[in-house]
Amino acid sequence: MSDAIILAKRYFVSGMVQGVGFRYYTQAAAEKLRVSGFVRNLHDGRVEVFAMGAPQQHAEFRAMLERGPRFSTISEVQEETAAPDPQYQGGFVINPSA
């Protein structure tokens, strides 16, 4: 299997994830793992993460999302496949809330 396989996924993180630095934590985790995409707060209290990377990067990234930053409480991480978006190739940004 080639390392060139790039998967795009959306993660929806529930729990105490707003106002605890979760977006900054997610951006730092993504940069460490070289995952590209974005993170943003949702109006319903969840955080949405769009990420593009290799299967192993996604496995490590999801584990970091499930852990969360120090003052967060993660109750659930939902995951769904997504279409790759060239707009986010090569970087990870914090987007405005949706």
Distance, CA of 56 to CA of 33 (rounded, Å): 10
> Active site residue: 23, 34, 40, 46, which one?
23
Q: 75 is written with which tokens?
A: 């109750």
Do 79 and 40 meet the contact criterion of CB atoms below 8 Å apart? Answer: no
Catalytic: 46? no
Cβ proximity of 9 and 81 under 8 Å: yes
Q: Is 95 a catalytic residue?
A: no
- Among residues 10, 34, 41, 67, the one annotated as catalytic is 41
Active-site residue list: 23, 41
